[in-house]
Amino acid sequence: MFMTQVEPTMAPIEPTMLPIEWLSHMATIVMAIVAIVAALYAAFQYSFGKKNARISRACELADYFANNIIWRIVLIPHIVPNSHVKKIKWKDNLLFNKSEALRFIDEFKLLEDGKKPESLLAFNANFVLNARLYSPKLSAVVVLPSLTVPEFKDESARKEWNKKVSEDINGVAMNQINAFVMGLLNDLEWFCMNINSRVADGTVIYQSLHSTFLSTIQTMYFFISFINVNGPADKYYTNIMKLYNKWCKDAKKRADVHQRRIDKVEKNGTVFGSKT
């Protein structure tokens, strides 16, 4: 028997085709990537815009502070008692309530013999009654009544009239200056609210304003604390308290960092700016 030689044959090669399902899957992935990138870009733009808005708001607050608050702050140490400011060891977690204030009065011996705690709230009457000599703006706040001096039948009547008029004028002036002080506290509360709520970027104005703000709140500490007698659920000027404690803590941290740098320089015998 003869064997027939069989020629090898090959199946025809067909061009490879990408399945429709795979193409669809790849398109979905690409679209998802594009969507994620677009979302990240939008988030960045939103964050960038929001940050710029907060910086812009901080600049507006600084301008308001300079034009509407600073002139009143300058007068506060002349109007209200401030001898306690240097006696109290201020903390960065003040409660600003009456019980804390009374504790400070005892701890730091802030009262002279025979005086009541309320004496720390007394206004400087001489300064108030002579407001026009100190500040044209304050003279517009303290408006004293004009008087017509009557004829007196004797010296006793004249003295009695002078005494009554003096008491009346003093009462009017004190009421007006009390409204002035409370108005300043209300404006400071609004100022602090903008920073605490992050509507404005507090870091932008911290360096310029924190020292003035902290010393002012320390001067007005008893005015804030003595009206907060109903517990933490019903407190006045909570935004002032919050920002005071935060900025006070920030100031102490920065002071500690600065002191550590000084200590390091003294320890190493290195002079700032020198190259060794």
- The per-residue pLDDT for 34 is 66
Contacts of 231 (CB under 8 A, 6+ apart): 97
Within 13 A of 23's CA, how many CA atoms are on the CB side? Answer: 4
Distance CA 116, CA 111 (A): 7
Q: What is the pTM of this model?
A: 0.75
Contacts of 254 (CB under 8 A, 6+ apart): none
- The per-residue pLDDT for 1 is 47
Per-residue pLDDT tens listing for the chain (276 residues): 445 554 555 555 455 545 666 666 666 776 667 666 656 555 555 555 678 888 999 999 999 999 999 999 999 998 988 888 999 999 889 999 999 999 999 999 999 888 899 899 988 888 887 876 777 787 778 777 776 777 878 888 777 867 776 777 778 888 888 999 999 999 999 999 999 999 999 999 999 999 999 999 999 999 999 999 877 778 999 999 999 999 999 999 998 898 888 888 887 865 555 554
List of long-range contacts for 97-102, beta carbons under 8 Å, 24+ apart: 97/225, 97/228, 97/229, 97/231, 97/232, 97/235, 98/225, 98/226, 98/228, 98/229, 100/225, 101/221, 101/222, 101/225, 101/226
- The per-residue pLDDT for 231 is 76
- The per-residue pLDDT for 270 is 59
Instruction: Find out whether 244 and 224 touch, Cβ atoms under 8 Å.
Output: no
- In 15-143, where does DSSP find H-type helix? 20-64, 70-79, 98-107, 125-129, 131-134, 136-141
The three-point CA angle 226-228-231 to 5° equals 140
List of long-range contacts for 105-109, beta carbons under 8 Å, 24+ apart: 108/84
Give the SS3 label for residue 116: coil
